[in-house]
Amino acid sequence: MTSHKKDNHKVLSAFLGIDVPDYGDILNCMHCGLCLPHCPTYSLTQLEKANPRGRIALIKAVADGDLEITEGFVNAMDFCLNCRACESACPAGVKYGELQEAARAQIEISGFGTPWGKAFKSFMLGTVFTTKWMLSAIGYSLWLYEKTGVQWLVRKSRILELVVPKLAQMESLSPTVQVPFSDKVLPEVIKPETAPRYKVGLLTGCIMNMIFADVNQDTAEVLVHNGCQVHVPKDQVCCGSLHGHNGDLKTARKLAKKNIDVFEREGIDYLVINSAGCGSFLKTYGHLLREDKDYAEKARKFEKKVVDVSEFLVKVGFETPKYPINVRVTYDDACHLLHGQKISQQPRDVIHSIPGLKFVELQEASWCCGSAGIYNIVQYDASMEILDRKMENIKKTGAQVILSGNPGCLVQLRHGVKRHNMEVKVLHPITVLNKSYKNQDL
């Protein structure tokens, strides 16, 4: 049990270990409700337990020993997208994302859940996403599933819808795997033709590596084009964001320490990230490892080197492309770029630099698309309602291309394009920039 002071009395709560929601941050919530209009799950339900204020009240109740970790508590935490739009709206600066992740960690520590569910989660997070060959094997299996026509047969027959409807929902979201993966293509060090301006690391990631290998390639080429020496170490690992967001902070710390060691060995000036979710989590390594006597200071220094690719280009200055791409585009803010990293203008600056593009601002660009890591899998119905709202706004722009800076968003938006029968491409901004540099069509 964990104790804390409440009204000058020591209180025992149901929270355990070091990953306890910060009680001071809980008390910072003024219950003003300014976050409510910005919360996607509250917009769906109008329920107090489905908004940040209500969830913080539940976390406080557990911290105060007034509530056990119950099924209702777990459901309230799991229904949250952790999009962190509430943080952007909060006048008190409540770190809701940290509170929510700590609450999920407490659910994990409590052992709540079915044996099968816990075993599957442990296997996926603790084994698959920490073992490169296993993750690669799954990636190649998905690629074969698509290329051999099995996927077409499964979808055409609708057998999954008849036998396992939930699995059919998951399968409908399966993205196209790109072979070879980017870590098999990119050399460990890529040098520019002239003396390098900067030495930068590139995180190839997990999902980016298998599903958006082309975006990793584009990122490396853009960085080299702008005078960077790019380091892509083969022994880098998953950033740990999936683990951290889903309560497995122990594994997240293990991965964080490995990445710190790997990239610090390279002597880089910056670690460039093209995935909003990864970048947002990497920038919290200092908080994640705050109790580790060997890594706390290393993590604080390391996270200061982490930059989103658009943030980096605008910060150091990048060559304005000269070849036009004549299409109508819109941009959807990835939640963990906008709300997690407070980056909004830099991607737009990159987009505006490309000649020929007709940019149309998206209504509710800051509203979540419903991807949120694995949210679209575990909360499919709610995710699709949120996605449909996004797609209706996109239709109003008349855009031929939707741009976004996060793999989960790209997958979700591509699913939305199919769901709404739209003839629209969904791309990362860095891809369009690289096409302009190389005078290539989209």
Q: What is the pLDDT of residues 32-77, one digit of tens each?
A: 999 999 999 999 999 999 999 999 999 999 888 898 899 999 999 9
Domain-located, residue 370? yes
Question: Are residues 326 and 434 located together in one domain of the fold?
Answer: yes
Question: Are residues 142 and 62 located together in one domain of the fold?
Answer: no
Q: What is the pLDDT of residues 117-155, one digit of tens each?
A: 777 777 877 788 888 889 899 999 999 999 999 999 999
Domain-located, residue 37? yes
**DSSP alpha helix (H) spans, 230-275:** 241-245, 249-265
Domain-located, residue 207? yes
Question: Are residues 45 and 90 located together in one domain of the fold?
Answer: yes
Cα 125 from Cα 135, distance rounded (Å): 11
Domain-located, residue 177? no
Q: What is the mean pLDDT of the chain?
A: 92
Order of strands across the sheet with 306-308? 189-190, 228-231, 198-202, 270-273, 306-308
Cα 198 from Cα 231, distance rounded (Å): 11
Work out the average pLDDT over 211-231: 98
* pLDDT of residue 348 exceeding 70: yes
* Inter-CA distances, 122 with 51, 81, 126, 129, 363, Å: 28, 21, 5, 10, 39
- Per-residue pLDDT band for 2 (boundaries 50, 70, 90) equals low
Q: For residue 377, which of 172, 75, 99, 126 has the smallest C-alpha distance?
A: 172
Question: Are residues 227 and 343 located together in one domain of the fold?
Answer: no
* pLDDT of residue 16 exceeding 80: no
Residue 175 makes CB contacts below 8 A (sequence gap 6+) with 211, 411, 414
Structure tokens at 287: 């908080």
* Inter-CA distances, 352 with 234, 309, 324, 436, 437, Å: 34, 15, 11, 12, 14
Question: Are residues 213 and 267 located together in one domain of the fold?
Answer: yes
The enclosing domain of 379 has a CATH number of 3.40.50
Q: Could you give the angle at the alpha carbon of 313 between the alpha carbons of 311 and 315, nearest 5°?
A: 65
- Per-residue pLDDT band for 9 (boundaries 50, 70, 90) equals very low
- What Rg do the C-alpha atoms of the chain give, in angstroms? 22
* Last-in-domain residue among 285, 300, 315: 315
Question: Are residues 373 and 428 located together in one domain of the fold?
Answer: yes
Q: What is the pLDDT of residues 190-210, one digit of tens each?
A: 999 999 999 999 999 999 999
State the residue range of the domain holding 15: 2-113
How close are the terminal C-alpha atoms of the chain, in Å? Answer: 57
Question: Are residues 305 and 198 located together in one domain of the fold?
Answer: yes
- Per-residue pLDDT band for 10 (boundaries 50, 70, 90) equals very low
Domain-located, residue 331? yes
Structure tokens at 222: 């853009």
Question: Are residues 199 and 281 located together in one domain of the fold?
Answer: yes
Collapsing DSSP to helix, strand or coil, 280 comes out as helix
pLDDT at res. 4: 53
Q: For residue 174, which of 199, 194, 203, 147 has the smallest C-alpha distance?
A: 147
pLDDT at res. 316: 97
Q: Which backbone phi and psi does 425 adopt, to 5 degrees? A: -90, 150
Question: Are residues 192 and 307 located together in one domain of the fold?
Answer: yes
What percent of the chain lies above the pLDDT cut of 90? Answer: 75
pLDDT at res. 35: 96
Q: For residue 32, which of 100, 81, 90, 102 has the smallest C-alpha distance?
A: 90
Question: Are residues 207 and 293 located together in one domain of the fold?
Answer: yes
Question: Are residues 198 and 304 located together in one domain of the fold?
Answer: yes
Domain-located, residue 350? yes
Q: For residue 13, which of 24, 2, 22, 26 has the smallest C-alpha distance?
A: 2
Predicted TM-score of the model (pTM): 0.92
Q: What is the pLDDT of residues 286-316, one digit of tens each?
A: 999 999 999 999 999 999 999 999 999 999 9
Question: Are residues 310 and 324 located together in one domain of the fold?
Answer: no
Work out the average pLDDT over 96-125: 82
Domain-located, residue 265? yes
* Last-in-domain residue among 315, 342, 375: 315
* Inter-CA distances, 383 with 169, 246, 389, 413, Å: 11, 17, 10, 11
Alpha-carbon torsion, ordered 145, 147, 150, 151, to 10 deg: 80
- Count of structural domains, the chain: 4
The enclosing domain of 189 has a CATH number of 3.40.50.1860
The enclosing domain of 33 has a CATH number of 1.10.1060.10
* Last-in-domain residue among 315, 335, 366: 315
